[in-house]
Structure 1
């Protein structure tokens, strides 16, 4: 269906592709992976014709339709979410628009003289609309939007009033409803909660076209893709299998290449030592020349060119009391909508609670109550003795001083710390070299999240409250964060849609449902095994 043959591409001074080739065949589900900046989005733009290769060729079979979802959703306002989604449904949306215009014309008294022609055209267009499944379109559009978490009010409401994250879901729904021959999805799992993620997972598994996607959600990628294409150092390498298989093969290949590199380096050192030792002796001149020529002909093995993620290690946090936080008889409502009515909940030292619940169940509200960001209408929230709390929420990224550099931001927070330790901290969170001189206003969402986290974890709290901490983080940073938090000696209360994060770090589950609030001993993995569901209300 889609082929890239020996493409080369350079953006400014950066070489993105060097004679790279790959194909996307009918029915294939491909995961596109590589370090940040490797060229994943560039590859999508080459396939869609938004950019052209400097050399080589991009070939797409005649008649193949392509749906492309990226993070730049453009302006949306003045229409309902439903109308916006239906408008992107391909040929049927064009026919639907004409049908609507004809209906308005037929109702217009000034068009009475054209009535016969309008009726005739209406019959033709209506027939075409029916042929394209137009009357089922609204139902399908509503179903897709509901799957992505939209309430009936949001489906019919003005799309312009939605947040950026919800507009992303509208843009994604347009592509899903279109059902093109090939879908290119750039980070479709961003901004989705766990229920929407699981719905999308099932939708994409059942999708019969070709799929190529990027995602920082390991579990999501692992369950959908059957082939992985890696971009690294300007080349494209294909691996048959899911993400887990790719990760194993990549680690094995790196290990083998490193061993091969080290063997060659040892051999080269030995040969160079011989040449240096005997180059002045006439009796060894022939041997020296022979070895020099041998070295000139050797193909040098490169060490694995992988992005090294620096491990972050917590300093030991101060010990808190056994009772970390206690909520008693808590009531909380927003207007007529009651969130909590008589909530009793407590967190004890070293517990790691993940909070599960559908949209609007009160997950973020609970975290705000615990951190004092919002007050209960009735009841009490009490922090225990010696509790040193840190709270990560999405709005924390908006509080960074825009004109300060990354390094200045760290210095402001920790004036007593030495430059060396702050640079090491920055390196752990992906800011190496000149990256520490970037101004906060130009940082991406992922970079802002990493900076906020670095500031939060350097002077370690003994109680971490985290609201979607993995949003915007790439897989390498997520793995680093999971490894660091696995060794953290404090207490945690968190909300996350990342199932790998949930499974790795929780040892308690608080489930918020319309039927009541349920507490489970054991972590997320045990919760799934016990309830038969990956999220409240979703059966496996």
Structure 2
């Protein structure tokens, strides 16, 4: 359906692809993976024709429609959310626009002489509109927007008033409604809550076109793709299977290549030692020459490319008391909206609570009450003795000083720390070499999140409160964080929409619903087993 054949591509001095080949067949669902900067966005732009290859070719079957969702959604203003989505539905939206123009002509008395031709044209367009499912389009648009978490009020409201994250959802809805032959989705799981993520997962499973997507959510990727295309070192390598199979296969391939490399190096060392030992002896001249020729002909095995692995180990945090937080009869409202009425909740040492609930249920409010960044209208929130609190909130990333470099920011936060210690900290969170000289203003969302987390964990608290800590983080950094937090001896309270993170780290779950507040003793895994659902908004 769509393929790259021996593609070469260079951006400035950076070589992105060298004789890279891959194919996406009809109905295939593939994940696109690779380290940051490997060329994933360039590949999407090549497939959509926004860029041309320097060598080789990108080919698609004649008439193939391609829908591309990127993180750059462009301007949106001047119409309702549902109209914005319908306007991006491809051919059907063009036919709808023409239908409106012809309807205006039908009502125009100045065009009475042309009426027979207009009526004939109107019949043709109406037939085409019906053929494309146009009359069901509005209903489908509402259905898609509802699945992505929009309320009726938001759907009919001004698209220009939405935040950047909600505009991303509008852009994604346009592509889903378009229903093209090929969907290219660049991080569609960003900015989605768990309910919307699960809805999108089901939608894509039932989509019968070809799909190529990137995602930092391994669970999401695992459940959708049956093929993985990896970009690394200018090459494209295709693996058959889901993301878990790809990881396993890649590790196995690396292990085999390392073993072959070591065997060959041992053989070469032995041959070279023989040549060096006997090259001056006339009696061994023929043998030496034979071995020299043999070495020249051997195809060298390259060692496997080593991915930069990030590792972070907590220093031992001071021990807190057994009672970490006590919440008694707390009431909290914002204007006329009541969040809590008589909330009682307590957290004990070494418990790891994840908090779940639909949008507006009060997840972030609970974290703010616990950290003292919000106060209850009535009732008490008491933090226990010897509790040292660390709070990761989304707004913390906006508080970084844009004029400071990463290293300067770390130095100002920890003036007593040695340079070597701070460089090791930066390296553990993915900032190696010259990366530490980047100014905070140019950092991506993921880089800012890593920097804020590094600062929070350097002098470890014994009580971590985390609000969506995995937003913006790539899979490798998430894995590092999960590994580090698995070995953490303190107490945790967190909100996350990443199912892998939830299952790996929680041993308690607090569910906030309009009907009441429920607690589960085995964390997210027990919650799924007992409710049969992966998110509160999916329960009947």
Normalised by the size of structure 1, how large is the TM-score?
Answer: 0.96
1:197 corresponds in structure 2 to: 197
* Aligned residue pairs, count: 537
Alignment of 1:243-392 (within 5 A): 243-392=243-392
- Aligned-pair distance for 1:34? 1.0
The farther-off stretch of 430-439 and 171-180 is 430-439
- Cα 1:324–1:116 change in 2 (3 A) is farther
Instruction: State the alpha-carbon separation in 2 of the partners of residues 280 and 402 from structure 1.
Output: 66
Matched, 1:46 2:46: yes
1:508 corresponds in structure 2 to: 508
Question: What per-residue deviation string (whole Å, max 9, x for no partner) do you get for residues 268-311 of structure 1?
Answer: 22223333333344443333333333222222211111312131
2:109 corresponds in structure 1 to: 112
Alignment of 1:415-454 (within 5 A): 415-454=415-454
1:237 corresponds in structure 2 to: 237
- Cα 1:310–1:270 change in 2 (3 A) is farther
- Aligned-pair distance for 1:262? 1.6
- Aligned-pair distance for 1:523? 1.7
- Aligned-pair distance for 1:341? 1.1
The farther-off stretch of 198-207 and 121-130 is 121-130
Instruction: State the alpha-carbon separation in 1 of the partners of residues 267 and 415 from structure 2.
Output: 49
Instruction: State the alpha-carbon separation in 2 of the partners of residues 24 and 83 from structure 1.
Output: 32
2:184 corresponds in structure 1 to: 184
Contact 2:310–2:477 (8 Å) recurs in 1: no
Instruction: State the alpha-carbon separation in 1 of the partners of residues 124 and 260 from structure 2.
Output: 70
Question: What per-residue deviation string (whole Å, max 9, x for no partner) do you get for residues 465-505 of structure 1?
Answer: 11111111111111111101100111111111110111100
Instruction: State the alpha-carbon separation in 1 of the partners of residues 105 and 163 from structure 2.
Output: 35
Instruction: State the alpha-carbon separation in 2 of the partners of residues 456 and 303 from structure 1.
Output: 37
- Aligned-pair distance for 1:102? 5.2
2:498 corresponds in structure 1 to: 498
- Aligned-pair distance for 1:90? 1.2
Question: What per-residue deviation string (whole Å, max 9, x for no partner) do you get for residues 375-434 of structure 1?
Answer: 112111111111111111111111111111111111111111111111111111111111
Question: What per-residue deviation string (whole Å, max 9, x for no partner) do you get for residues 187-235 of structure 1?
Answer: 1001111100100000000000011111110000000001111111111
Alignment of 1:511-526 (within 5 A): 511-526=511-526
- Aligned-pair distance for 1:82? 0.5
Normalised by the size of structure 2, how large is the TM-score?
Answer: 0.96
Matched, 1:71 2:71: yes
1:168 corresponds in structure 2 to: 168
Matched, 1:147 2:147: yes
Instruction: State the alpha-carbon separation in 2 of the partners of residues 159 and 331 from structure 1.
Output: 34
Q: CA RMSD in A?
A: 1.7
The farther-off stretch of 282-291 and 162-171 is 282-291
SS at 1:488 equivalent = coil
Instruction: Mark the runs of 5 or more structure 2 residues left unpaired by the alignment.
Output: none
Question: What per-residue deviation string (whole Å, max 9, x for no partner) do you get for residues 302-342 of structure 1?
Answer: 11113121311001111111111111111111111111111
Instruction: State the alpha-carbon separation in 1 of the partners of residues 164 and 459 from structure 2.
Output: 33
Instruction: Mark the runs of 5 or more structure 1 residues left unpaired by the alignment.
Output: none
Alignment of 1:521-540 (within 5 A): 521-538=521-538
- Aligned-pair distance for 1:84? 0.5
2:227 corresponds in structure 1 to: 227
SS at 1:9 equivalent = strand
1:464 corresponds in structure 2 to: 464
SS at 1:533 equivalent = coil
1:208 corresponds in structure 2 to: 208
- Aligned-pair distance for 1:106? 6.6
- Aligned-pair distance for 1:239? 1.1
The farther-off stretch of 357-366 and 180-189 is 357-366
- Cα 1:276–1:539 change in 2 (3 A) is farther
- Aligned-pair distance for 1:539? 5.2
Instruction: State the alpha-carbon separation in 2 of the partners of residues 439 and 364 from structure 1.
Output: 30
1:479 corresponds in structure 2 to: 479
Instruction: State the alpha-carbon separation in 2 of the partners of residues 202 and 306 from structure 1.
Output: 35
